Amino acid sequence: MRIPGASGKTFTTSLLIGGVIFLAGFAAGTLSSVISAQGSGVSDEAREAFSPVWDVLQLIQDQYIDDVPAQALADGALHGMVDARGDQFSGYMSPDEYDLLSADLSGEIEGIGVVIRTDEAAGFVEVVGVLDGAPAQSAGVLPGDVFVAIDGAPVEQMNQLELAGRVRGPEGTVVSITMRRGDELIDFDITRARITIPNVESRILDGDIAYVRLNQFTDSSREDIDRAFEELDVRKRAGLIFDLRDNPGGLLTAAIDVASAFIPDGTIVTERFGDGRETVFSATGAYANIQTPIVVLVNEGSASASELVSGAMQDRGVATVLGTTTFGKGTVQTWNDLSNGGGVRLTIARWLTPNGRWINEAGITPDVIVEWTPQHYGDPDDRQLERAAELIQRGDVAAPEDAPGLPADALDNAA
C-alpha cells in the first residue's frame, strides 16, 4: 500500500492528528495497492554486512542468562533496521500492529468507541471524544479522561498504538481501564462491541449552508460524501463547508476520488521519486458539479491525504481554505507485506500539489487563518466553523465556476 504523507507522528507534539478511535488504532494514512515483500535479490555486500547479525543471534541463544523468544529478537532487528534510516515515517509493524492498521480503514472494529490523542508535553494519552451509543459512553467515560492502566498494566510506557491494541479486543469481552479525571482515579469495566466508524457527518447549518465532515479517507469515502451531498441537496444551498480538520489521511485512491468531486479535470497531485521520475495523478472525471461557494476547514491535525485534497482545491481555486496550518507531511510511503504477517513502511517519493508545492514540514497555509484549539472533540464553541459560515453569508467566498484554473506551466515551475 502506498501512503501519501502518512501522519506517522502518533498524535504527539501537542498535535491532534485526527484522533485514533479504538476502532482506529494507528492513524497512518494508507494507500493504494499491496506490494509483495518478495523483492529483488540481496547484494553480496549486504550479505557480508549482515553476517554479524547471525553471530549475535547465535550468541544470545547460546549464552544469554534467560530464554529470549526468537520472534522478540526478530522484531527488534526489524525495528532497528528500518529505524536506522532516521526517517520517522518509515517503520516496521508487527503482525498485531499491522492488523490494527488494516482495521483503521475497514470502517468497522471491535472496541469501546473513544477518540484519543497523546499529549506529548504532559506524557499521557487522553480521551477527546466518545462515540454516541458506544460502550465507553454507556460506562460513563468522558472527554478529558486520561488513561492510567489497562487490565492492571500501567500505560505510562506504552505508545498510543500499543495502548490502542490493549483496549481493543473481541466483541463481548471485557477490558478493565483506570482513568484519571481531575484528581480522581476511576475504574471502568467495559464490554467491547463491534462498532461502525461514522466516517462522514453532515447537516444543514443556519443560513442554508451545507456542512460535510470527512473523518478519514477510506475506500467508501467518495461514495459517502456523494450520498451526503444528495441528502443535503448541496447544489441548491447557499454554500458548502467541507471539514477536514483532524483528518489523518488515508488511501491515495480515496484522496484522488474525493478531490475529483470538486476539481473537474487536470492535475490533483504529482509524485516525484528520488531518481527524478514523476507520476501525475489527474482528476477522474467524476465531478460533482457543485457550483456553490466552498470553504474547506483544516488544522494542524489535517495530514496526509487531507493536505493533498485541500492543497489541490486551493491551487485549483475551487475553494477557500480556512483554519490553521496543516501538519506538513509531503512524502509518500509504501507498505510492504512481510512473511510473518507484519509490514514495513518505507518512504519512496515526495508529493507535490498541482502548482508544484512541496508542503513537507511547512503544511498547507489557509487562505484565512482562524486560530482555535478545542478543549475536546466536538467542542460546540467552534470559531472556525462560525467564521466559515460568516464568509459564505457575506459573499466573500467565490463559487468554483468563478475560480481560476491551473496555470499551464504549473508543473514546469515545480520545486
Give phi and psi for 412, each to the nearest 5.
Answer: -65, -25
Respond yes or no: is residue 304 known to be catalytic.
yes
Whose CA is closest to 259, among 326, 310, 333, 199? 310
* Long-range contacts of residues 35-43, Cβ cutoff 8 Å, at least 24 apart: 35/1, 35/2, 35/334, 35/335, 35/336, 35/337, 36/336, 36/337, 37/336, 37/337, 37/338, 37/339, 37/344, 39/336
54 contacts: CB under 8 Å, gap ≥ 6: none
Identify the residue whose cell numbers are 487531507. Answer: 306
Respond yes or no: is residue 87 known to be catalytic.
no
Q: Which of 304, 306, 367, 412 is catalytic?
A: 304
172 contacts: CB under 8 Å, gap ≥ 6: 191, 192, 193
Whose CA is closest to 205, among 172, 180, 231, 239? 239
* CB-CB contact of 112 with 135 (8 Å): yes
First to last CA, the chain: 26
Give phi and psi for 259, each to the nearest 5.
Answer: -60, -35
Q: How far, in whole angstroms, is CA 247 from its chain's centroid?
A: 6
* CB-CB contact of 321 with 294 (8 Å): no
Cell of 38: 518478495
The one-character DSSP state at 366 is P
Respond yes or no: is residue 9 known to be catalytic.
no
Whose CA is closest to 331, among 316, 346, 309? 346
Q: Which of 329, 339, 382, 412 is catalytic?
A: 329
Q: How many other CB atoms are found less than 10 A from the CB of residue 234?
A: 24
Give the catalytic positions in this structure: 304, 315, 329
